[in-house]
Amino acid sequence: MIHFDDKAAFAAALTDLPMPDAAALEAAARRQAMLTKPAGSLGRLEEIALFMAGWQGRESPCAERIRAVIFAGNHGVAARGVSAFPTEVTAQMVTNFHNGGAAINALAGMCGAELSVVALDLERPTGDICVGPAMSEAECLNALNAGAAAVDPALDLLLLGEMGIANTTPAAALCAKAFGGTAELWVGRGTGVDTHGLTRKTEAVQLALALHGDVCGDAFETLRRLGGREIAAMAGAVLAARIVRVPVMLDGFIGCAAIAPLAKEAPAITGHCLAGHVSAEAGHGRLLAALGLVPLLNLHMRLGEGSGAAVAAQIVRSALAAHGGMATFAEATVAQAL
Ligand SMILES: Cc1cc2ncn([C@H]3O[C@H](COP(=O)(O)O)[C@@H](O)[C@H]3O)c2cc1C
Ligand SMILES: O=C(O)c1cccnc1
């Protein structure tokens, strides 16, 4: 299991990212070329099969062991009226996840994922990012390691989700810090705030950037100051998954914002990540473009929880079913292209 001993270990891991298995990639590409279809006719399904082959290190990758992890955390900035819902909903939804009643329970079931829920100190919200750092160094490191601990090297695919009332606000701050642009450019309606709520979010992001913008020296410090526990956990999970070459399916705006500070330092961090979907949250499309990711789906979802990632995992399963299950031209005695 991966564990980051201190922030220096986290920073060091970010500068030493493993790459996919070139031999497996080549073998998978050779197999792909022999399957009974015109070259490229399965479009992105072919790319996904090669992506999975490279990270799993085998010619015929599989999607049997899929885990969806939902990290939950509470946010001090919620007190500024930046969400349409009260903060109790975070813990209530955690109970709902355990009872099987949330969207992600149904959707994880459909893609064959086991669901794991990691509640991170819900009774202790982070500090309000407008007046101080979200977390102490120890809290941030703990959150990163909670994410790393959710990564089992034996997984075929890891889906990352989150639950945390108000977390689209720190997510917007992380995007603005990593990729520039005004607060307005990155804030969106989240759970459905009205125009006044949107103004309060914009102001909160502006205050947070004014306070921390110049002192976020690296990815750890940025996550610590502007992020939140579930956000840092997703970042830790992405980096840990990379170390053990487990491919990751990202979900919506918050999950992608979690890796923005990492991507600013090490753009290659997205190499083992697929973007499940582009959510309806205003900044998500722009964020995906900045991360260099092309979403698999655009279903106008704006839920979080890993819901879009779980739907997209079914596309991965389809890609691998074709890649592993189709006959070759030789096996099926089908004539090849002229
Ligand atoms: C019942 C309910 C279930 C959810 N599941 C995910 N979210 C999503 O909404 C929150 C972010 O939006 P904001 O920043 O506006 O609070 C996060 O918890 C996210 O996971 C939910 C929100 C609610 C209300
Ligand atoms: O993009 C998301 O995942 C999202 C958007 C709004 C609210 N919660 C999550």
What residue owns the CA closest to ligand 2's atom 6?
A: 190
Ligand 2 pocket, mutate which of 93, 201, 253 (most atoms under 8 A from CB): 253
Asked if 301 contacts 307 with a C-beta cutoff of 8 angstroms, the reply is yes
- Give me the sheet containing 248-250, strands edge to edge: 113-119, 66-72, 157-163, 248-250, 273-275
User: Minimum-distance ligand to the CA of 101?
Assistant: 1
Question: Is residue 184 assigned to a domain?
Answer: yes
Q: How far does residue 206's CA lie from ligand 1's centre (Å)?
A: 22
Q: What is the pLDDT of residue 287?
A: 99
Question: Is residue 48 assigned to a domain?
Answer: no
Question: Is residue 123 assigned to a domain?
Answer: yes
CA separation for the pair 335, 276 (Å, rounded): 36
Give the 3-state DSSP-derived string for 244-274, with helices as H, strands as E and coil as C.
CCCCEEECCHHHHHHCHHHHHHCHHHHHHEE
What residue owns the CA closest to ligand 1's atom 3?
A: 93
CA separation for the pair 204, 129 (Å, rounded): 8
The 10s digit of each residue's pLDDT in 73-113 is 999 999 999 999 999 999 999 999 999 999 999 999 999 99
At which residue do the structure tokens 């990593």 appear? 178
What is the mean pLDDT of the segment spanning 315-330? Answer: 98
Q: How far is CA 51 from CA 56, 73, 76, 113, 172, in A?
A: 9, 31, 39, 19, 29
Q: What is the pLDDT of residue 117?
A: 99
Question: Is residue 67 assigned to a domain?
Answer: yes
Mean pLDDT of all residues belonging to the chain: 98
Q: How far is CA 191 from CA 3, 89, 166, 281, 332, in A?
A: 33, 12, 8, 9, 52
Give the burial class of 97: count Cβ atoms within 10 A of its Cβ; 0-12 exposed, 13-18 middle, 19 or more buried. Answer: buried
pLDDT band of residue 131 (cuts 50, 70, 90) is: very high
Q: How far does residue 279's CA lie from ligand 1's centre (Å)?
A: 13
Q: What is the pLDDT of residue 65?
A: 98
Residue 236 in tokens: 């830790």
169: Cβ contacts below 8 Å, ≥ 6 apart: 75, 77, 80, 82, 83, 129, 187, 190, 201, 204, 205
CA separation for the pair 196, 188 (Å, rounded): 12
CATH of residue 245: 3.40.50.10210
pLDDT band of residue 66 (cuts 50, 70, 90) is: very high
Q: How far does residue 164's CA lie from ligand 2's centre (Å)?
A: 10
Question: Is residue 2 assigned to a domain?
Answer: no
Q: Nearest to residue 108, comparing CAs of 323, 324, 279, 317?
A: 317
Asked if 14 contacts 265 with a C-beta cutoff of 8 angstroms, the reply is yes
Q: 3-class DSSP state for residue 328?
A: strand
Question: Is residue 97 assigned to a domain?
Answer: yes
Asked if 53 contacts 100 with a C-beta cutoff of 8 angstroms, the reply is no
Question: Is residue 232 assigned to a domain?
Answer: yes
Phi, psi for residue 250 in degrees, rounded to 5: -85, 155
Count: domains in the chain = 1
Q: How far does residue 151's CA lie from ligand 1's centre (Å)?
A: 24
| 81 Cβ closer than 6 Å to some ligand 1 atom | no
Angle ∠(150,151,153) on CA atoms, nearest 5 = 150
| 295 Cβ closer than 6 Å to some ligand 2 atom | no
User: Minimum-distance ligand to the CA of 251?
Assistant: 2
| 277 Cβ closer than 6 Å to some ligand 2 atom | no
What is the mean pLDDT of the segment spanning 124-139? Answer: 98
Q: What is the pLDDT of residue 57?
A: 98
What residue owns the CA closest to ligand 2's atom 5?
A: 302
Question: Is residue 327 assigned to a domain?
Answer: no
| 178 Cβ closer than 6 Å to some ligand 1 atom | no
Q: How many other CB atoms are there within 10 angstroms of residue 332's CB atom? A: 10
Q: Which residues are 162's β-sheet partners?
A: 71
Q: Which residues belong to the active site?
A: 305
The 10s digit of each residue's pLDDT in 186-227 is 999 999 999 999 999 999 999 999 999 999 999 999 999 999
Angle ∠(320,323,328) on CA atoms, nearest 5 = 160
Q: How far does residue 302's CA lie from ligand 2's centre (Å)?
A: 4
Q: Nearest to residue 151, comparing CAs of 218, 86, 238, 75?
A: 238
The 10s digit of each residue's pLDDT in 23-60 is 999 999 999 999 999 999 999 999 999 999 999 999 99
| 284 Cβ closer than 6 Å to some ligand 2 atom | yes
Domain range for 122: 63-321
